Amino acid sequence: MTDFTMQIDADGVAIVTWDVPGKSMNVLSREAFATVETLIDDALADDAVKGIVITSGKDSFAGGMDLNTLATIRQESGDDPAKGLFDFTMNGHRILRKLERAGMDPKTNKGGKPIACAIPGTCAGIGTEIALACHRRFMADNPKAKIGLPEILVGIFPGGGGTTRYSRMVGTMAAAPVLLEGRMLDPKKAKSAQLVDEVVPADDLLSRAKEWVLSAKDADIVKPWDQKGWKMPGGAPYHPAGFMTFVGASAMINGKTKGVYPAAKALLSSVYEGALVDFDTALKIEARWFTSVLMKPSSSAMIRSLFLNKEALEKGANRPAVEDQRVKKVGVLGAGMMGAGIAYVSANAGIEVVLIDAAQDAADRGRAHAEGILDKGMKRGKVTPEKKEQVLGRITATTDYAALEGCDLIVEAVFEDPGVKAEVTAKAEAQMLETGVFATNTSTLPITELATASARPEQFIGIHFFSPVDKMMLVEIIKGAHTGDIAVAKALDFVRQIRKTPIVVNDARFFYANRCIIPYINEGIRMVAEGVEPALIENAAKLVGMPLGPLQLVDETSIDLGVKIARATKAAMGDAYPDGAVDEVLFWMAGAGRLGRKSNAGFYEYDDTGKRGVIWPGLRDKHPVADTQPDLTEVQHRLLFAQVLEAVHAFEAGVLTDIREGDVGAILGWGFAPWSGGPFSWLDILGTPYAAERCDQLQAAFGDRFACPDLLREMAERNQSFYGRFGTGTGSKAA
Ligand code: NAD
């Protein structure tokens, strides 16, 4: 069976059906693209065929290109991967251009065969680009389906003609949300955005597309850019309106990407330069920019972490091979900020939830939190009243532990106090299924110690959510010393049910994410104490792709929490505690009542409505800014190395066992510079020899916290890369 098949019906319409065997969603392979060409050639050559409808045998149309293809082509192309990628891209343009011209006479534009695309459901990437090359697009009226070009989100841009075609259809400004933000649209919105022409009932999809094919005239199938006198909507670059558009778009892109994402800039360059020339030359320009982006280490790293490895982890790359552990009934203990969020995401995924707190009003508040999220969704038209009722109907808010009967998973999110946690563990275990799994959402307490309160430590595990639970995509699963395979599989299956991304780590202080983010915050605060201009620290972080500067981050998470963590760490480490200089600033801020956003006063000033303003001037009074300031790269390297060296230590210590989890977890958990692909990818981009050399320099200048980890030193000496040595996820650090 092939991915594309063709049947000619009695009316003379060739129906080309895309249905990749054994996959739930169509993805385009190189071989399948060749089949498309053959089928189009056959249909155009066959006099019995009046027109063509391209559709899908699945309830969606396509997920996009098989991104492994790009890596394969690069490998196959030996010394000249750019040539291989460019030729591959140009070949795609040639096939889609053939489809678009559909056999019409190049001079008169007459005699072509109409080609419609019938899109039954979700359609992304190259799927949308194929559709855009067709003469008319019909989409089934399924509000859950989305269509778009999300390539930018994995560090590339639509390079299958989508950039050139769509910007020429609607103009640069109107194309921006789809091309530059990667927004996926439901059928109705897609119609207003001209991504599709008609939205029709699912049952009529094929018949309506066929009807159009059979009635289309020559003029209906000539694209605007193939007609005489065509002008770019909204104005080409040298038109006054076009000039303003490109100036504005360029400023917007630089503001948003801070110059660290090459794809956005390349996309705009491709549209700008393409708009000055004819369509076929524009496609060639698009292919050149596309190739240049594919050749950047950042794009391969982003594709690897944000697409391939993220998906592999979601599909259970590190799941023990035990039977299905999907959760049917979950008990959530503690209906505070975290518990309420966990109850909501579980109920939203169709799981029955019992939400317990010490007092009924607290439990009710937790359920009301879920209601608040659903109400917001309703206002935005994303949630129907029926859906709201269904989701809320799954949450029972109570103080009665007997309601936990039949629960196959408990997630505990009560106060961060071992005594309180021990008490609720025993009470819940007495009620839940004996075969069930008990999980704690603790952020700081060792899992192995909390498991001592459990009658079944092999069924005890950490499931660590990030706040806000409904928005944050990462879930850290922590194995205690006695945690068994069933508990790991249960946690992974649960995370899959609630459609988040899991990483599995071993038990150690702060697990993985918090372990790496704390040194980032501390390095920022340490620089304040040294007299580095606070705005330099914050901007350096953002210019290297961190979503928040360290000072803003500590304001958001609260300064008293920082104080609490510092105290606990100091108590645990004794004389080895390295962060005295940080504490001086932090404790002083807390003492002055500046607790961060929650007190409307922190490293930043806030107005009465809670809007963040400038850095608080009092900070510079207390810690005067030094006359000589470090250069930008040095500040950035201090902030990034503080995090990545901790990630390497976590890997050396066996807390992380898979660098893929280290990279994906860093980007989704705390927003580590996504352009880099994550801490391990960033070290590979630098090259381990240079990274080790930089460690030595930073250590000499700023202290032993930058000492090169043994593993990095050894890899630098052998000139190894992390992905070269550990990339498959099968090798542990010892491999
Ligand atoms: P919170 O104070 O908002 O909520 C705790 C809830 O537990 C309260 O509603 C409280 O009434 C309830 N509770 C206390 N004792 C109880 C008992 N004996 N029986 C039933 N309910 C009881 O706290 P939170 O921020 O939601 O944190 C909860 C847990 O999640 C903590 O372990 C925390 O470390 C962890 N955590 C927090 C975050 C975060 O960003 N806040 C992130 C990850 C993990």
Residue 336 CB less than 6 A away from ligand 1: yes
Query: Is 500 in the same domain as 513?
Result: no
Query: Is 121 in the same domain as 230?
Result: yes
Residue 271 CB less than 6 A away from ligand 1: no
Answer yes or no: is 300 within a domain. Answer: no
**CA-closest candidate to residue 685, choices 718, 654, 724, 634:** 724
Query: Is 130 in the same domain as 49?
Result: yes
Mean pLDDT in residue range 667-678 = 97
Residue 442 CB less than 6 A away from ligand 1: yes
Mean pLDDT in residue range 311-334 = 97
In the block, tokens 């790991």 appear at 488
Task: Give the pLDDT score at 576.
Answer: 85
Catalytic residue among 100, 151, 286, 476: 476
Residues forming a β-bridge with 140: 200
Mean pLDDT in residue range 309-332 = 97
The SS3 call for residue 562 is: helix
Query: Is 568 in the same domain as 631?
Result: yes
Q: Answer whether residue 49 shows pLDDT above 80.
A: yes
Of 457, 478, 507, which one is at a domain's C-terminal end? Answer: 507
Backbone Cα Rg of the chain: 28
CA angle 716, 719, 725 (to 5 degrees): 95
Structure tokens at 732: 């542990």
Query: Is 229 in the same domain as 364?
Result: no
Task: Give the pLDDT score at 343.
Answer: 98
Catalytic residue among 443, 454, 506, 676: 443
Q: Answer whether residue 572 shows pLDDT above 90.
A: no
Structure tokens at 357: 């707190």
Q: Answer whether residue 349 shows pLDDT above 70.
A: yes
Task: Give the pLDDT score at 257.
Answer: 87
Query: Is 514 in the same domain as 383?
Result: no
Answer yes or no: is 307 within a domain. Answer: no
Structure tokens at 304: 């690897």
* Residues 553-563: tens digit of each pLDDT: 999 999 999 99
Q: Answer whether residue 163 shows pLDDT above 50.
A: yes
Query: Is 106 in the same domain as 148?
Result: yes
Nearest protein Cα to ligand 1, atom 15: 414
* Residues 57-98: tens digit of each pLDDT: 999 999 999 888 888 898 899 999 999 999 999 999 999 999
* pTM strictly above 0.85: yes
Task: Give the pLDDT score at 19.
Answer: 98
Residue 465 CB less than 6 A away from ligand 1: yes
Task: Give the pLDDT score at 255.
Answer: 87
Task: Give the pLDDT score at 569.
Answer: 87
Structure tokens at 93: 């343009």
Best residue among 338, 356, 442, 561 to mutate for probing ligand 1's pocket (most ligand atoms within 8 Å of CB) is 338
Here the CATH number for the domain that contains residue 653 is 1.10.1040.50
Supply the DSSP string of 330-355, one letter for each residue. Answer: EEEE--SHHHHHHHHHHHHTT-EEEE
* Residues 603-641: tens digit of each pLDDT: 999 999 999 999 999 999 999 999 999 999 999 999 999
Task: Give the pLDDT score at 465.
Answer: 98
The SS3 call for residue 433 is: coil
Answer yes or no: is 671 within a domain. Answer: yes
Contacts of 96 (CB under 8 A, 6+ apart): 129, 130, 133, 160, 161
The SS3 call for residue 16 is: strand
In the annotation, is 298 catalytic? no
Angstrom distance (rounded) from CA 677 to CA 694? 20
Answer yes or no: is 320 within a domain. Answer: no
Q: How far is CA 197 from CA 15, 136, 182, 712, in A?
A: 19, 6, 20, 55
Residue 450 CB less than 6 A away from ligand 1: no
Query: Is 76 in the same domain as 181?
Result: yes
Cα 159 → chain centroid: 20
- Residue 691's pLDDT band, with cuts at 50, 70 and 90, is very high
Q: In what side-by-side order are the strands of the sheet with 4-8?
A: 4-8, 13-18, 51-56, 115-119, 136-140, 198-200
Structure tokens at 148: 């778009």
Mean pLDDT in residue range 472-494 = 98
Angstrom distance (rounded) from CA 73 to CA 60? 27
The SS3 call for residue 563 is: helix
C-beta separation of 55 from 18 below 8 A: yes
C-beta separation of 191 from 199 below 8 A: yes
557 CA closest ligand 1 atom index: 40
Here the CATH number for the domain that contains residue 269 is 3.90.226.10
Query: Is 579 in the same domain as 712?
Result: yes
467 CA closest ligand 1 atom index: 40
Angstrom distance (rounded) from CA 334 to CA 336? 6
Q: Tell me the CA–centroid distance for residue 512 and ligand 1, in Å.
A: 20
- Residue 575's pLDDT band, with cuts at 50, 70 and 90, is confident
Query: Is 63 in the same domain as 157?
Result: yes
The 10 Å CB-count burial string (b at 16+, else e) for 646-656 is bbbbbbeeebb
DSSP structure class, residue 616: P
Task: Say what percent of the chain tops pLDDT 70.
Answer: 99
Strand-strand pairing, 4-8 and 13-18: antiparallel
Q: Answer whether residue 161 shows pLDDT above 60.
A: yes
Mean pLDDT in residue range 695-716 = 98
Q: How far is CA 470 from CA 341, 377, 391, 655, in A?
A: 6, 12, 14, 26
Residues forming a β-bridge with 506: 479
Q: Tell me the CA–centroid distance for residue 357 and ligand 1, in Å.
A: 10
* Residues 513-540: tens digit of each pLDDT: 999 999 999 999 999 999 999 999 999 9
Angstrom distance (rounded) from CA 534 to CA 585? 13
Q: How far is CA 684 from CA 219, 386, 484, 689, 692, in A?
A: 53, 49, 34, 10, 11
Answer yes or no: is 253 within a domain. Answer: yes
In the block, tokens 């019938």 appear at 118
Q: Tell me the CA–centroid distance for residue 236 and ligand 1, in Å.
A: 56
Segment holding 129, helix H or strand E? helix 126-133
Looking at every residue in the chain, the average pLDDT score rounds to 95
Domain of 249?
4-295
Torsion sign (Cα): 137, 141, 142, 147: positive
Nearest protein Cα to ligand 1, atom 40: 467
Here the CATH number for the domain that contains residue 491 is 3.40.50.720
DSSP structure class, residue 596: B
Task: Give the pLDDT score at 728.
Answer: 72
Answer yes or no: is 187 within a domain. Answer: yes
Mean pLDDT in residue range 674-701 = 97
Nearest protein Cα to ligand 1, atom 8: 336
Answer yes or no: is 159 within a domain. Answer: yes
Of 295, 318, 345, which one is at a domain's C-terminal end? Answer: 295
Nearest protein Cα to ligand 1, atom 4: 336
Task: Give the pLDDT score at 1.
Answer: 65
Angstrom distance (rounded) from CA 157 to CA 219? 31
Q: Tell me the CA–centroid distance for residue 506 and ligand 1, in Å.
A: 22
Residue 332 CB less than 6 A away from ligand 1: no
366 CA closest ligand 1 atom index: 9
334, with CB counted inside 10 A (0-12, 13-18, 19+), is buried
- Residue 733's pLDDT band, with cuts at 50, 70 and 90, is very low
In terms of residues, how long is the chain? 735
Angstrom distance (rounded) from CA 315 to CA 561? 35
Q: Answer whether residue 675 shows pLDDT above 70.
A: yes
Residues forming a β-bridge with 352: 329
Residue 317: HSE in the Cβ half-sphere, 13 Å Cα cutoff: 22
Angstrom distance (rounded) from CA 541 to CA 537? 6
Query: Is 284 in the same domain as 393?
Result: no
Task: Give the pLDDT score at 729.
Answer: 56
334 CA closest ligand 1 atom index: 7
Task: Give the pLDDT score at 735.
Answer: 35
- Per the structure, how many domains does the chain have? 3
Answer yes or no: is 306 within a domain. Answer: no
Residues forming a β-bridge with 185: 147
In the annotation, is 449 catalytic? no
Angstrom distance (rounded) from CA 73 to CA 82? 10
In the annotation, is 464 catalytic? yes
In the annotation, is 476 catalytic? yes
Residue 362 CB less than 6 A away from ligand 1: yes
Q: Tell me the CA–centroid distance for residue 79 and ligand 1, in Å.
A: 56
* Residues 398-447: tens digit of each pLDDT: 999 999 999 999 999 999 999 999 999 999 999 999 999 999 999 999 99
The phi and psi torsions of 605 (rounded to 5 degrees) equal: -95, 150
Contacts of 301 (CB under 8 A, 6+ apart): 155, 675, 676, 677, 678, 681, 682, 684, 685
Mean pLDDT in residue range 192-201 = 98
Best residue among 443, 556, 558 to mutate for probing ligand 1's pocket (most ligand atoms within 8 Å of CB) is 443
Question: For 382-426, where are the E strands, in sequence order?
Answer: 395-398, 409-412
Query: Is 228 in the same domain as 333?
Result: no
Nearest protein Cα to ligand 1, atom 44: 443
Q: Tell me the CA–centroid distance for residue 314 and ligand 1, in Å.
A: 27
Angstrom distance (rounded) from CA 478 to CA 461? 6
Question: For 236-351, where are the E strands, in sequence order?
Answer: 329-333
Best residue among 414, 447, 670 to mutate for probing ligand 1's pocket (most ligand atoms within 8 Å of CB) is 414
Of 445, 474, 507, which one is at a domain's C-terminal end? Answer: 507
Task: Give the pLDDT score at 467.
Answer: 93
Residue 360 CB less than 6 A away from ligand 1: no
Structure tokens at 27: 């993805």
